[in-house]
Structure 1
Amino acid sequence: MAEFFTPGETIRIVYPATAVRPRIHPDTPTIIEDSSEWLRRHLPGIADDPKVYNPVFAGRLPDWFLMSFPAGSAAATARMCSFCIMMFSWDDQVTLGDLFDGHTTPGPEHPVGMAADDLLNGFADEMPAPVFRRFKQALKDWADHLPAELDQRERADRLTQEEYRAVRRWTIGMGPYYVFLEHSLGLDLTEQFAADPDFKRAVDLSTDHVWLVNDLFSFRKEAVLGDPFSIVMMLNRNEGVPLQEAVNLTLRQVEEVNGQLEELLGRLSARYAGGPASAAVDRLGDGIRLVNAGNVHWSYSAPRYVGYGQGWNGLRDAEVTLAADRTVFRPWMAPDHGPRTTGVLRFSQGDRDVLQRVSRSSQVAWSR
């Protein structure tokens, strides 16, 4: 932990750039109840184990999903919320090295494998066949990249930015969720995704937004646990960037990704305007915007990242104190203790030089 921050150290964080304000699914209470019941029925080992169950619900993990995907049908959302709980638990086990009989994916006789089959059978019944095929392929893509992440964790202190970004986009695990987003809105844009690479680019940009924000808010917890897998910690340790500058650079990258995503979604909307897919393309774009907005809001408020026994106080421009067990937000004051400023961070030329140096590879991908 001392390698990255000293308990009591303060940094400044401003609200990461998003295009819309966050929402939460209107059926949140019943969806959480239904997902909890599914968990007890299909994964009693998780439901009965406080070491797993408490972080899931006390950490408000279902809220991440219900803030990020607030507009879908209640039935489809309840099934996917159960999937989300399973994925979070599964991902944590893989991250901690508690693998399934030496593998990163469970076999068909493993309880998680059987639970996954129950959910997949339900999705197969309700999703159009082309959408379900894409959903399964996205799951496979995620699982196929997990060994690469485990390898990267073993050599995190020698990892390059290019290597990290190439794997992080996959192992954040968002691929299946974007296919679900499409299905939950009653859409099937399989043909458009196959014919127009800008749809995949939009998903990739939104995914980058998610993992950058995740890395920004999770690094305190992960540093305490000795898990260095975060862009903030890599900038700090591998590139020698001071912690506040690493935070600033991560925020700037979120801002750039958000701007590129908005530009791309606008082009897609104009390209399909007046055609048979026009309304569907616009609905998908709105759903993608809500994913990023929900992820940011949840990251501020989730005990999983900010610690238990407290709540986010709504500050969008905050002095953040990094304690061993929590992240504390207070109003940010200028160095002369004058009035708190508003708006985005202002970056020095030194900040910009470092940003250009460490994110050159990502800028190529984002500009395509």
Structure 2
Amino acid sequence: MKSANESSTNANYDDFAARRSGVSGDDEIQLPEFTSLLPVKLHPDSEELVPASDHWTRTYLRSCARTDAELETLIEAGLARLTCYMLPNAPRGAVQATCDLWQQVVLLDDAMSDRGWLGASIHAAQNAVGRIMTALTGWGSPDAATDAVRDAASRLRPYLPAERWERFAAEYADLLDGFLIEVATRNRDGLEDFEAYMKRRRITVGAKWVIVLAELMSGAELDPCVPSHPQVLQLRDVALDHLWLANDLFSFLKEQVRGEYISAIPLLQRCEGQRPQQAVTWLLDQVADQERKFFDLRRTILSGELAEHAGLSAYLDNVAHIMSGTLHWSWTTSRYHVPGRPDPRGAGWRPKPAPADAVDPPRRKT
């Protein structure tokens, strides 16, 4: 028997879904101009890395896509260029492998999000996840669907010492667990608590594995004790919040068309009665707040007990590039454009990032 609270939650959910079955003027959103304080930098070899990754994607991921057109849509989204923005200071070979792995991750995300594909069944999703982790870790022989993971991971692994590889593999598994959470809860979640949603999104945003790669840098090797320090873990959570907030902001219309209701804007509508444009403004304010928190924490860490550790400043800058790369890419990628709907980013909207060398701005620009 359902509790009164559960019945109320489901009634709210049904009412929300019914209202969202059509598109009204109240559903239209516009992203206002936004000035990010984060540094933006592109990997110097991006002009070679991007086409090489696109070629790899056509070679290795064709068996995972349903059509050639679907694969070309994935490539047109510019995921390899996104990686070059996120990891501008990493060794070229590591970035090339990560470009490839990122394309595989997003294709998998699409499959997990589609109720007619892997998203149709938690059993199918679990089977895929098990095979992918087996391929990533190099145990047994890959199949046609997982050979891409084996290839990319085998090229990335030499750049990661044993301890770092173990953390990378664990965080990649965390990404896959996030996919399973979303498949299992997509149809009837009943989530009404934004704080609980925030905690979940730090997992389902699936970015911890990329943050491990922020430890790859030119020059001094990062001291192994740095990533596990409590203040650095707190900074990592700020970065994760920045990433999922930006993702929920830009992917809203795409997910709306797919009937996705477990996302920040629908949740703010359902729980707090906000209109979509109100929620957009709130999310942008939160993105800006995470940037302020990041720089505050960065100053604290650089002046604290970790200050003398090798590679610290470069590592923190690399985390900033992961945040800024995603935000910068989100304003331009075709992935978030919905055919037949006005693009809320507008024809000329772009972020106005701080200069690439401005890694410690004093305050938010308005």
Same-fold call, TM > 0.5? yes
Deviation at 1:111, TM superposition (A): 2.8
How much does 1:175 deviate?
0.8
3-state SS in 1 of match to 2:214: helix
**Pairing partner for 2:234 from 201, 204, 213:** 201
Identity %: 23
Please state how far the C-alpha of 1:185 moved relative to its aligned partner.
Answer: 4.6
Find out whether 1:105 has 2:139 as its counterpart.
no
SS of residue matched to 1:275: coil
Q: Does 1:287 align with 2:318?
A: yes
Whole-Å Cα distance in 1 between the matches of residues 262 and 81 of structure 2? 23
What is the Cα-based RMSD across aligned positions, in Å? 2.8
Task: For 2:110 and 2:342, locate their aligned partners in 1 and report how far apart those are by CA, in whole Å.
Answer: 19
Give the equivalent residue in structure 2 for 1:182: 215
Amino acid at match of 2:225: E
**Alignment partner of 1:300 out of 296, 318, 331:** 331
Deviation at residue 331 of structure 1 after TM alignment: 8.2
Aligned to 2:356: none
SS in structure 1 at match of 2:43: coil
Residues 87, 257 of structure 1: CA spacing in aligned structure 2 closer, same or farther, 3 A cutoff?
same
Paired AA for residue 333 in structure 2: A
Counterparts of residues 226-237 of structure 1 (less than 5 Å)? 226-237=259-270
SS at match of 1:57: helix
- Total equivalences in the alignment: 317
Residues 94 and 155 of structure 2 are in contact (CA less than 8 Å); yes or no, is this contact kept in structure 1?
A: no
Question: SS of 2:316's equivalent?
Answer: helix
Give the Å deviation of 1:53.
1.0
Displacement of 1:275 in angstroms is 1.9
2:346 corresponds, among 329, 332, 357, to: 329
Question: Which amino acid is the alignment partner of residue 286 of structure 1?
Answer: D
Question: 1:129-278 maps to which residues of 2 (within 5 A)?
Answer: 129-156=162-189, 158-185=191-218, 187-194=221-228, 196-271=229-304, 275-277=308-310
Separation in 2 of the partners of 1:286 and 1:217? 24
Contact 1:149–1:171 (CA<8 Å) still a contact in 2?
A: yes
Mapped partners of 1:213, 1:29: distance in 2: 26
Give 3-state SS (helix, strand or coil) of 1:287's partner: helix
Letter of the structure 1 residue corresponding to residue 214 of structure 2: L
Q: Secondary structure at the match of 2:42?
A: coil
Match in the other structure for 2:100: 82
Q: What residue ranges of structure 1 are gaps of 5+ in the alignment?
A: 309-322, 333-342, 345-368
Consecutive unaligned residues of structure 2, counting only runs of 5 or more, are: 1-16, 135-141, 350-364
Q: Does 1:54 align with 2:72?
A: yes
Q: Measured at CA, do residues 16 and 149 of structure 1 come closer, stay the same or move farther in structure 2, by a change above 3 Å? A: farther
TM-score (norm 1): 0.77
Post-superposition offset of 1:34? 2.0
Change (3 A) 1:9 1:139: closer
Report Cα offsets for 1:315-354 as digits up to 9, x if no partner: xxxxxxxx6364352689xxxxxxxxxx64xxxxxxxxxx
User: Which secondary structure state, in structure 2, belongs to the residue aligned with residue 13 of structure 1?
Assistant: coil
